[in-house]
Amino acid sequence: MSIQVSSSNNEVMQRSPLNRDSYLLRLLEQTGSPETDLELLRSLRSQSKLLIQEQAFPTTRDEEWRFTDLSSLLQVNFEARTSQSSVSSEQIAPFTLPEAAESRLVFVNGVYQPHLSSVKGLPKDLYVGSLSELLAGKQEEAIALQSRLSHYLGKQPGAAELFTALNTANLTDAAIIWAPKNLVVETPIHLLFLSTAAASPAFSQPRCLVVAEPNSAVTLVEEYVGLDEGVYFTNSVTEVWVESNAQVNHSRIQRESKAAFHIGKTAVSQARDSRYTCTAISLGGKVSRHNPEIFQTGEQTETYLNGLTIALQDQLSDTHSAIVYSKPYGSSRQLHKCIVGDKAHGVFNGKVFVPQAAQLTDAGQLNRNLLLSPKARVDTKPQLEIVADNVKCTHGATVGQLDADEVFYLQSRGIDAASARSLLVYAFAFEVVEQVAIASLQDTLTHFLKTQIP
């Protein structure tokens, strides 16, 4: 089902002088040729470059990009960072979390910043650090993890997708979280990816790898923040491996510059009896897209996806999710909400694949959309592909505006019209915001909802 609201289209963007193929090759050239002694990374980069050369830059003629026009991206010639930006601890203070003060990794423009990071508050058996540090480690534990990297890094399905391959083609460093067997980590881990404006538009490609071994549990906050209101491009990839009977609670917050471009992939593999929860909130970016892809590879897996998109002014924010079952007795619940105002455009495409082998699947999917202005637009497409005959699967979508009767009721109780609207918008969004596992982050998002939405 596809619902398109508002007959007015976004303003037509002028095409870049470069054609799409030339632009793609230019982005690939920005990856450079990093030096490393690890054959695994050399092999992954080489394979990814070959995959990119066989593909074309996406257009609205491609089904997966039908509602997301990247013409404005093509108008900007991005360059890879050639020098590190100087960021102080005072600058990152507004974005740090009290609950994760001693369990934080900070990357600036994709480059790890050890002087801004701290992992003192984490268990000794848990590895939280950068890929470069892990490869340089000589301890017995580091050597053991190095030998196991080949089983996880770059091995998620969907690695051939264009922007994922582009990220892998520049793979030199990454944020690594590795929880050993039977370890329950009580302290949340904060991965903070900061972007700064430069004299020329910059291009960075953050990478994360999360491995939760059997019977372990981890809480993770992955956050993308723009320090300046400049033009830049962030192309991120996060791989999450949830082994048997493990649990990962994942919050992903995107609040880039309103002039920035952000494309992110979250690829998750779940083994038997595992549980994965993701709350993804998108606030920033001129053009942004998030692709959560969940692969249930074992029986009795549980997946919970919560999403909130807020698009204002002329923002375009897209969420393309996929939940792929392969074994029986799996379950999933997905709730995604969009708040769209001004001339902004929201997109949701949620897929659920249930093959013949995935009998007794229980899947529920709901997309709810709130339009705040006559020119706001949303395209929604919940999608089920079911071959199995003994399943319980539901999906649905709603699109609407604020109820005039509800606004009037609040006004009749002495609340002014603007405050009444703000209260109703906050109530609409809070169902997702309250799923964020960190109290201080909930407070930050609540403040945004109450002050930034007209």
Mapped to the 3 state alphabet, what secondary structure does the chain carry?
CCEECCCCCCCCCCCCCCCHHHHHHHHHHCCCCCCCCCHHHHHHHHHHHHHHHCCCCCCCCCHHHCCCCCHHHHCCCCEECCCCCCCCHHHHHHHCCHHHCCCEEEEECCEECHHHCECCCCCCCCEEEEHHHHHHCCCHHHHHHHHHHHHCCCCCCCCCCHHHHHHHCCCCCCEEEEECCCCECCCCEEEEEEECCCCCCEEECCEEEEEECCCCEEEEEEEEEECCCCCEEEEEEEEEEECCCCEEEEEEEEECCCCCEEEEEEEEEECCCCEEEEEEEECCCCEEEEEEEEEECCCCCEEEEEEEEEECCCCEEEEEEEEEECCCCCEEEEEEEEEECCCCEEEEEEEEEECCCCCCCEEEEEEEEEECCCCCEEEEEEEEEECCCCCEEEEEEEEEECCHHHHHHHHHCCCCHHHHHHHHHHHHHHHHHCCCCCHHHHHHHHHHHHHHCC
Tens of pLDDT along 152-171? 999 999 999 999 999 999 99
Does residue 10 have a pLDDT over 50?
Answer: no
Contact status, residue 319 vs residue 280, Cβ threshold 8 Å: yes
Pairing outcome for strands 79-80 and 111-112: unpaired
Does residue 406 have a pLDDT over 60?
Answer: yes
Q: Is 142 exposed, middle or buried (0-12, 13-18, 19+ CB in 10 A)?
A: middle
With a pLDDT cut of 90, the percent of the chain lying above it is 80
In the block, tokens 């979390």 appear at 97
CA dihedral over 438, 273, 265, 386, signed as positive or negative: negative
Does this model's pTM top 0.95? My answer is no
Cβ count within 10 A of residue 190 = 26
Q: Look up residue 1 and give its two tokens.
A: 């089902």
Residue 286, phi then psi, degrees to nearest 5: -70, -45
Does residue 4 have a pLDDT over 80?
Answer: no
| pLDDT in the model for residue 12 | 33
With a pLDDT cut of 70, the percent of the chain lying above it is 94
| pLDDT in the model for residue 187 | 97
In the block, tokens 């199995």 appear at 388
Tens of pLDDT along 97-132? 999 999 999 999 989 999 999 999 999 999 999 998
Residues with Cβ within 8 Å of residue 97, at least 6 apart in sequence: 104, 188, 190, 221, 438, 440, 441
Query: Domain-by-domain residue ranges, the chain?
Result: 13-298, 402-454
Tens of pLDDT along 346-396? 999 999 999 999 999 999 999 999 999 999 999 999 999 999 999 999 999
| pLDDT in the model for residue 261 | 97
| pLDDT in the model for residue 35 | 55
